[in-house]
Every structure is written in structure tokens, then in C-alpha cells.
Amino acid sequence: MTFYLIIVAIVIFACVFMNRISNKIGVPTLLAFIGLGMLFGVGGPLGIGFDNYRMAEQICTVALIFIMFYGGFGTNWKQAKRVAKQSVLMSTVGVLLTACIVAVFAHFVLRFSWIESFLIGSVISVFSILRSRKLGLKYNTASVLELESGSNDPVAYMMTAIFLAVYQGGISGGEIVYMIFAQIVYGLAIGAGIFFLALFVLKKVKNMGEGFNMIFIVGVALAAYAVPSLIGGNGYLSTYIVGIVLGNAKIHEKAEIVHFFDGLTVAAQMLVFFLLGLLSEPAMFPTVIVPGILIALFVTFVARPAMVFAILAPFRAKINQILLVSWSGLRGASSIVFAISVLLGATTQNNIFYITFFIVLFSISLQGTLLPQVSDKLKMIDEKGNVMKTFTDYSEEVPVQFIQFEIPEGHQWVHKRVKEIIFPPETIVVLLQRNGRHIVPDGWTCVSAGDKVILSAKTPGKVEGIELTEIIIKEGDDYENKKLAEIPRSEQGLIIMIQRDDEVIIPKGDILLKAGDILVVNDT
């Protein structure tokens, strides 16, 4: 056992080293992990003979559970909901459309059987790329892509499971209809039950102890997948939905949970792509390189662009946005997990696992590497934007620091209204914590002894209980050319910062809002 622990440690060190190298030379990290796996694999100089696909599938499935859960947990719904229609259509109708287009190509051009054509189309119809790049893109494109990439796995999994069952034979039309029903309804219903139960527990049991919230959330993620899967439901759909709800709920130690899952999902993706390289045998490459490269080219330049245009054009998306979304097609870890499932579940004429390998390799190498350059050429980069605003840990990106202190008995602020208190220059009170409650104050709020008062000022920082969102003032908006004091408090929450061009402004009632102003709002 000691020997294997040393090997695991060496692999982890090598992955960390490869991550630093890949970032410096501009090559996607996942490509480095695949290469590292091949280096350790049977065809590499270290020659580790690992071919246990069943174990690999189980390991990758667990990894994908956490990747899917965090895809939902880290999504800031307030930021993402404005593009939810486009993203959900691409992750549902788009996945189906992409799979069908690829299936037609594989059948008529490559002479695959229809069922194998649909299997390969289902496996490779998922997309993800942006968070690791932290690209800020115009027209909310980053949010569109991230929401799509987080929500398309359940549909691709459902299609893979159905076509795999058809390939294995002995399934009727009625059984297929029931599979679809079970996948969707059980996945949604059980997911709803789990997140309601999890929220109930988190609210009732407030003092689990240091770190126990994170352990509880890990258990929730595992249950969200396992329970519906046990009765034929879509575990990935349940996992993603539970992640979104919990990620946007007010729960204790949320910032710590975000950081924990951030590290966990990095390790999970590292593991999946390392296993992909470890499982690969270079001797098999010549047999699948032609169909693999042809399908990769077809998906990149035909299937994906056709799907994106069909869905985004009705939303009057700009052509450069459509082109960039079409290009952003890096396959995620789910494609590998689904391909291994096909390999274990059916003896196909064509090796779908290795075909998927080449498609993933092609997409990472070409699309992943060139995404920043393509974004720049299409004039889609927003220098002031950041994809991280799509996530619940966005508050760390805001140039505001928070100062917290408790009001003792007899303090001169006790029983005074906020508007009567003289605060330090360039600061504003953003939150009162009173008897376990969070109060977003206005000028009429009275301060009591024992209150924890939280002030904000410039420069980065974070604090528990602050929920930040952005509002951009556009030309013609109701708030343009109005003073802050003229805006009803109930409509906007508390504005704690205004960004005007490169200037950061601490708000006061007499400040006149202008088109282009970005308001950072606390709406706890």
C-alpha cells in the first residue's frame, strides 16, 4: 500500500506542476492532465497497465457528481437568470439537435449504424469551458455558456442511457417512454425533496460545528445523485438542481463551502482526465483517428454552429456572439464518463471510447487553446466584465472591504437612527446583525446595544451575510439622471458602491446616477 500511496503523491505533484506549466504557455490544463495520464499509462515510459474500465467508470461518476453539483451550487441565479431561456434551450433542445446532426453525419458519411451514430452523438453533445479561463465577454455571453455547460449533462446522460438500452435490445416503445418519464419526473421530484430537506436541516441545526456544514453538503450531493438513480431517475438532473437551490440559499459557512467545492472539483476534473490518459492505449489510435478527427471537425464547424444559430438567432443575438458561442465547445468530463458507460454496456462495431478520446483531445487542443484569441478577434472581450460574476463567490471580486464591530451597552450610537450617526468618511453601514438576524438598514433603522455593525469602504474583502448583485444603469432607464435619495428603497435594496468608468464611488443620497453606472447592491 505504501508504494501505491507514493505513486498517488507523485501523480498529484506532477499534476500541480503541469498546471503551472500549462498556464504559462497558454495550453488548457486538462490537456496536460491527459498527457500526464498517457505518460503513466501502458504506452508511456512508466508503463502502468491500468485497464479496469468498471473501476474507472465508478471513480469518474463520483467525480462527475461533485462537478455537476458545484456547477449548480456556484451559479449566481440572480446574474444567470437573465440568460436562462437561451442557456436552457441550448442544454435541452440544443443537446438533442447536436446529437441528431452528428448521428446523421456518422451514419451517412462514416457508415456507422444508426444506433451507434446516436450513441456517439449523445456522448459528445455536452460543452463546458469558461470558468477556468475567467473570460469577461460582452452581451452576457459568459453567463450563457456557463449555465449551458452546467445544465446540459442531464440531457446527454438521458439520451445515452436510452440509446444504450435500445442497442442492448429487448426494450419496447412503452418502456422507452417510461424511461424518459422516470428520468425527468423522478429526477425533478426527488431533487426537490432533497433540497427542501437539506434547507430545513441547515436552518434548524445552525451550530453543526466547524466544517460540518461542508460534510453535510457533500452527503447531500451524493444523495441527490444516488436516490433518483436507484429508481431510474436522472441523478445528474437532481444533483444540478439541488446545487442551484442550495448555492443561492442563505446558509452558514457558505464562502467556505464554495472554496471547498472549488478545490474538490478541480481535483475531480484532474482525476477524470488523468484516467482518460491512463486508460488510453496508443496502439488503438490508428484504428479510430480518422472517424475521431472527422467527427470533431464536423461538430466544431457544422453541428455546433448550426445548433447555436437555430437557438440564439430568434433572441436577436449578434453574429459575433453566435460565432463565439459556436466556437466554445470544449467537452467536459461527462463525455468521458458516458463513453466508458457505452464501452461497458455494449459491444459496438466502432470503439466509441477512443473516438470520444480524439474528439476531446481535438477540442481541448484547438478550441480551448484559441478561445481567448478568437474572443479578441470577434471583439467579444469585455475588459470590465468577468465570468466570475456568474458565480456565488462573486463578492470577492468587488473592490469593497467590510469592517465589523459590536455596539456595547452605553455606546453613544445606542437608540440612535442610522441617519443621525456620523460615520467615518467614505464608509456606509451595510448590515446589522442582531440576535442571529441580518438587517439591511436604512436611515430610519435604530441601533441597539449588542448589534454587530458592518461598514463598507473601498478595497477588496468579504464578510458573512452580504449578498451582492449588480445593476447596470442604461440609457432611458427610470433611474438615469435621478439622485439616489429619489429611488424607492424597496425596489433596489441597499446600494453600497457605484462604479463609474474607472472610479469607485461610495454612495450618498445626493449622487446623480448616470447611464453606464454599475450599482453593487446588497439585497440580503
Question: What are the pLDDT digits (tens) for 157-197?
Answer: 899 989 988 888 768 888 889 999 999 999 999 999 999 99
pLDDT given at position 394:
47
**Does the pLDDT of residue 392 top 60, yes or no?**
no
pLDDT at 464: 59
Cell of 15: 499534476
Tell me the pLDDT band of 490, cut-offs 50, 70 and 90.
low
Which whole number is the average pLDDT over 391-404?
A: 60
Domain boundaries, the chain: 2-390, 398-522
pLDDT bin (cut points 50, 70, 90) of residue 400 is: low
Kindly report the pTM of this predicted structure. Answer: 0.73
| Mean pLDDT (whole number) for 212-225 | 90
Tell me what pLDDT residue 325 has: 87
Cell triple for 76: 449566481
Segment 84-111 mean pLDDT: 91
Q: Which residue has the higher pLDDT, 433 or 143?
A: 433
490: which 3 cell numbers?
424597496
Residues 6+ apart with CB under 8 A from 509: 483, 484, 485
- What pLDDT, on the 0 to 100 scale, is given for residue 103? 94
Task: Name the amino acid, one letter, at 186.
Answer: Y
Percent of the chain with pLDDT over 70: 85
Confidence at residue 461, expressed as pLDDT on a 0 to 100 scale: 47
136-157 confidence digits (pLDDT tens): 677 777 778 778 877 888 888 8
Q: Which residue has the higher pLDDT, 162 or 204?
A: 162
Spatial CA neighbour of 497 closest among 384, 387, 421, 398 = 398
Most confident of 29-33, 318-322, 437-441: 318-322
pLDDT at residue number 130? 44
- At residue 477's C-alpha, the angle toward residues 473 and 481, to 5°, is 75
Whether 212 has a pLDDT exceeding 80, the answer reads no
Coil/strand/helix, residue 468: strand
Cell numbers placing 159: 439520451
- What per-residue confidence (pLDDT) applies to 136? 65
Q: What is the pLDDT of residue 512?
A: 86
Torsion of CA 12, 17, 20, 24, to 10 degrees: -140
For range 482-500, the mean pLDDT = 75
What class does CATH assign to 2-390? mainly alpha
Whole-Å CA distances, 287 to 40, 281, 346, 350, 360: 22, 11, 19, 9, 17
DSSP state of 512: B
Q: Please say if the pLDDT value at position 101 is more than 70.
A: yes
Nearest alpha carbon to residue 352 among 258, 287, 302, 403? 287
pLDDT confidence band for 231 (50 / 70 / 90): very high
Q: What is the mean pLDDT of residues 60-80?
A: 84
Tell me the average pLDDT across 231-259. Answer: 86
Residue 224: predicted pLDDT: 95
For 476-503, what is the mean pLDDT? 76
**Angle in degrees, CA 485, 486, 487, rounded to 5:** 95
CA 102/CA 99 separation, integer angstroms = 5
pLDDT band at 80 (very low <50, low <70, confident <90, very high): confident
Window from 350-354, 383-387, 511-515 with minimum mean pLDDT: 383-387
Distances (CA, A) of 25 to 147, 150, 271, 373: 28, 27, 22, 14
Mean residue pLDDT across the chain:
81
Which CATH code is given to the segment(s) 398-522?
Answer: 3.30.70.1450
Residue 132 is predicted with a pLDDT of 43
